[in-house]
Structure 1
Amino acid sequence: MPTNLPAEALSKWEEVQKARTPEERLRKLQEFYALVPKHKGTEKLLKQVRRKIARLREEVVSKRERRRSTGFFVEKSGDVQIVLFGFTNSGRSTVLNKLTGRKVKISPSPFTTVNKPETGVFTWNGVSVQVVEAPPVIENLEDTLTSRALALVRNADSVAITLDASSNPVSQLLKLGDILRKGGISLKRPKVYVSVEPNPSRNGNIIRIRGKLRGCTLKDVERALAELGIRNKIVTIHGEADLNSIEEYVTMMLKYKPPIIIMTKLDTLTHEEADSILEKIRGVVRDTLVIDMRRDLNSVKSEITEYLMQKLELIRVYTWGRYEKQPANRPIVVKKGSTVLEIAGRVHSSLHENFRYALVWRRGDLGRRPVKVGKGYVVEDLDIIRIVGT
């Protein structure tokens, strides 16, 4: 260990050495990494630490997977998963019931949702959104309920911060944002952002570049991901990224989750008070969807779905079987930049393995002749696809 590190970093390294569990060691190692100055002299050290973080994370994730059957975990159902995150009595159960038609018990007593997360699903324009009600948040990261709520957010696609408009919502928002940041969740999209998702085809890593690679090649990225133990994933790199920034984002705990702000109990205020609060909240969180739960339910569902599709860069693709009279009613929801071969893998592994070509109808062109395309063809929103195998 270099001795010319800042005292705070050296002190944190001692905490790493004293850590008793893999989870604690991982957290302390990530904190140590954040304290190490980033320059030429520390490149080797930082790379070693990133490798250690990757190995520890694999150990922790493997351990967590074994506990899932009895643990506090919600398997993703639908195309997008959002988590309702807020203090007790912030209206999370009311929002869940209204959006999904569930009839979860609503109580004025605090801490009603503590034993297990409540879930529900709503569908809009073919997109299925799973809503998860997290346990209430306590202003203490070490609290079990807060830890569980943060774990649910980390596993989700988006966090829906639920605010009680009748009880200083700006203060609630700032406190919840701080808790999320300390829990390793970023509400602001960083300059370099890497998303890692399962590859349904399980045929290795698929790497997509949504920006530019700086000082490295695609082969370098493939090699680095393999060294970090990332396999059979779809890895999307956003921004102008070098190898260090890619490795850092993948290995560090900080994860970007597009936020939604949901305002409850506005109906307990006067119109003037409610409008004033909404204006203040929108001033704090620019470029973020703020939902007024007094509004028409269909408008709320539409806004949430379209916002998530945009922020998560998702599109809808309809399949049309050779012997079917018309395209499927429900689309397959995939990331922008997906190819017809990836769609084939989503439909069935045999279609992926035996792919010959695909016929594609663009939006509005259903009456025209389809375009015959190969496996690398990139699909667009509302495309209709017929996959032909051997």
Structure 2
Amino acid sequence: MPTNLPAEAKAKWVKYLEARTLEEKIEALEEFLSYVPKHKGTENLRAWVRRKIAELKDELEEKKARRGGGGGPTFFIEKEGAAQVVMLGFTKSGKSSVLRILTNAKPEVSPIPFTTTLPVPGMMPYQDIQIQVIEAPAFVNGMSKGSVWWGSRVLGLARNADGLIVVLDAANDPIEQFKSIVEELAEVGIHVRKPSGEVSVIKSRDVHGIRVITYGRLINCTSDDVRKLLESYRIYNAEVRVFGEVTLDDIEKAIFERITYKPTLVLLNKVDLIDREQVSEVLTTILSNYPDIQVLPVSAAKRLGFDNVPEKVFKMLKIIRVYTKEPNSGRPSPKPMILKEGATVEEAIKKIREEFLKYFKFAKIWGPSAKYPGERVGLDHILMDGDVIEIRTTIKGV
């Protein structure tokens, strides 16, 4: 990323940040691009800006299509269930067959390449919840650079998802398929390997000045360096959250591009067409480079290997189910609320009804996180999957 953009370019970037409509954002980015110098140090930035402009134009078309009552194909899928997972893979990898097995969806299954032209959603049951799984149109090499019209839209689906399922064709160089998908995702700031550090720059009028919150450590820079960097981009009120080990260059990247990590499950499909040694080779190669990723050998044609997929996806997403219980009531709610692993009682209350925080007295917990049934806890108590929570407040009857 460049560290010495001219003042004119930084001013145009501020214009983009302040833009409210898609049209204004597109115009501001085009102006910004015209002021970014053309040299090796700005190649990645210029490429990202061009991709971003294309994404915004696609989004604008989607918006117009929805307003017009379906005047054109739409990639917008509203999130449903406990989480949303997007299924990626090259054509003829068997994504549609996998979706049929895992969910209630009935996508067309055909030997003809590129049968799926729009995203197809389905709901995958796991115990007492449903996880939305969306089959995306086929992955294509170079899609991050505009090789196909649906490229930026598929990558947008991946960015907005809570996690990914990558389907590989075991009989057609699956290692190269996986490598290509990972590289295309990385081109737009989506990573399947958990990074050593993450940073988010949250601009807000509610924050006075530059507030740096560090959950890890800054490498070769200080909070004052971070403040000066943001102010050079005319960002004067923002919260910078640092997780793990982060450099000043990482923070500058975060100003331009949102880098996101997506937990990923790989399904090695069509293993019935190769021998065990080949399966082992694929598993070893992927896991040696991506130890956080799980790879499951499956066969959609023979419906083998799918029994554990819902559980693997649930655990991969690092979400928990918490059930609410009314005071003096015997039974908890049948439908759980979904929280991220590590969520506290305070976060649960915010999801139930934030107003309760003002009148909070204590909570009672039954389940894995409780030392004993009905344990009284405070706002900072960390919840676990399967917990039942009862909120006590100073409000009469609550």
What TM-score comes out, normalization by structure 2 length? 0.70
Q: Counterpart of 2:309 in structure 1: which amino acid?
A: V
SS of match in other structure, 1:163: strand
SS of match in other structure, 1:122: strand
1:298 correspondence with 2:304 = no
The equivalent of 2:112 in structure 1 is 109
1:379 correspondence with 2:383 = yes
Alignment counterpart, residue 327 of structure 1, candidates 329, 332, 336: 332
Question: Which 10-residue stretch deviates more, 99-108 or 349-358?
Answer: 349-358
Summarize deviations over 1:153-173 as a string: whole Å, max 9, x none.
Answer: 011122222111111111211
- Rounded Cα–Cα distance in structure 2 between residues aligned with 1:183 and 1:271: 35
Alignment counterpart, residue 35 of structure 1, candidates 27, 37, 41: 41
- Rounded Cα–Cα distance in structure 2 between residues aligned with 1:28 and 1:289: 43
Unaligned runs of 5+ in 1: 38-45, 198-202
The equivalent of 2:122 in structure 1 is 120
- Rounded Cα–Cα distance in structure 1 between residues aligned with 2:37 and 2:314: 35
Q: Counterpart of 1:154 in structure 2: which amino acid?
A: R
Q: CA deviation at 1:131?
A: 0.8
1:249 correspondence with 2:254 = yes
Unaligned runs of 5+ in 2: 14-24
* Pairing of 1:281-360 with structure 2 (within 5 A): 281-294=286-299, 295-309=304-318, 314-322=319-327, 324-352=329-357, 354-360=359-365
SS of match in other structure, 1:348: helix
RMSD: 4.7
Alignment counterpart, residue 82 of structure 1, candidates 73, 79, 85: 85
Q: Counterpart of 1:145 in structure 2: which amino acid?
A: W
SS of match in other structure, 2:166: strand
Summarize deviations over 1:11-59 as a string: whole Å, max 9, x none.
Answer: xx7xx99x9745656789999899369xxxxxxxx9xx9xx9xxx9xx9
Question: Which 10-residue stretch deviates more, 28-37 or 253-262?
Answer: 28-37
Q: Counterpart of 2:151 in structure 1: which amino acid?
A: T
Summarize deviations over 1:219-256 as a string: whole Å, max 9, x none.
Answer: x8xx99x958879xxx9742134777456436414322
**2:296/2:305 contact within 8 Å kept:** no
Task: Provide the aligned length of Structure 1 versus Structure 2.
Answer: 350
Q: CA deviation at 1:269?
A: 2.6
- Rounded Cα–Cα distance in structure 2 between residues aligned with 1:129 and 1:196: 30
1:189 correspondence with 2:198 = no
Q: Counterpart of 2:216 in structure 1: which amino acid?
A: G
**1:264/1:293 contact within 8 Å kept:** yes
Judged with a 3 Å threshold, the aligned counterparts in structure 2 of structure 1 residues 33 and 345 are, in CA distance, closer, same or farther, namely: farther
Q: CA deviation at 1:109?
A: 0.8
- Rounded Cα–Cα distance in structure 1 between residues aligned with 2:35 and 2:349: 40
Q: Counterpart of 1:84 in structure 2: which amino acid?
A: M
Q: CA deviation at 1:376?
A: 4.1
The equivalent of 2:139 in structure 1 is 137
Q: CA deviation at 1:65?
A: 9.2
Judged with a 3 Å threshold, the aligned counterparts in structure 2 of structure 1 residues 254 and 365 are, in CA distance, closer, same or farther, namely: closer
Alignment counterpart, residue 146 of structure 1, candidates 141, 148, 151: 151
Q: What is the percentage of aligned positions where both structures have the same residue? A: 27
Q: Counterpart of 1:118 in structure 2: which amino acid?
A: V
Q: Counterpart of 2:116 in structure 1: which amino acid?
A: T
- Rounded Cα–Cα distance in structure 2 between residues aligned with 1:128 and 1:300: 13
* Pairing of 1:163-202 with structure 2 (within 5 A): 163-194=168-199
- Rounded Cα–Cα distance in structure 2 between residues aligned with 1:112 and 1:355: 54
- Rounded Cα–Cα distance in structure 2 between residues aligned with 1:280 and 1:386: 47
- Rounded Cα–Cα distance in structure 2 between residues aligned with 1:79 and 1:381: 13
What TM-score comes out, normalization by structure 1 length? 0.71
The equivalent of 1:155 in structure 2 is 160
Q: CA deviation at 1:106?
A: 0.6
The equivalent of 2:18 in structure 1 is none
Q: Counterpart of 1:386 in structure 2: which amino acid?
A: E
Judged with a 3 Å threshold, the aligned counterparts in structure 2 of structure 1 residues 372 and 177 are, in CA distance, closer, same or farther, namely: closer
Summarize deviations over 1:280-311 as a string: whole Å, max 9, x none.
Answer: 443453331112124443222222222222xx
- Rounded Cα–Cα distance in structure 2 between residues aligned with 1:92 and 1:354: 50
**2:263/2:316 contact within 8 Å kept:** no
SS of match in other structure, 1:305: helix
The equivalent of 1:262 in structure 2 is 267
Q: Counterpart of 1:303 in structure 2: which amino acid?
A: K
Q: CA deviation at 1:93?
A: 0.8
- Rounded Cα–Cα distance in structure 1 between residues aligned with 2:173 and 2:138: 17
Q: CA deviation at 1:174?
A: 1.7
Question: Which 10-residue stretch deviates more, 188-197 or 153-162?
Answer: 188-197
**2:96/2:107 contact within 8 Å kept:** yes
Q: Counterpart of 1:119 in structure 2: which amino acid?
A: P
**1:86/1:163 contact within 8 Å kept:** yes
- Rounded Cα–Cα distance in structure 1 between residues aligned with 2:269 and 2:34: 37
Summarize deviations over 1:69-104 as a string: whole Å, max 9, x none.
Answer: 464222222222221111111111111111113222
- Rounded Cα–Cα distance in structure 1 between residues aligned with 2:250 and 2:367: 37
**1:30/1:252 contact within 8 Å kept:** no
- Rounded Cα–Cα distance in structure 1 between residues aligned with 2:131 and 2:32: 32
- Rounded Cα–Cα distance in structure 2 between residues aligned with 1:130 and 1:208: 33
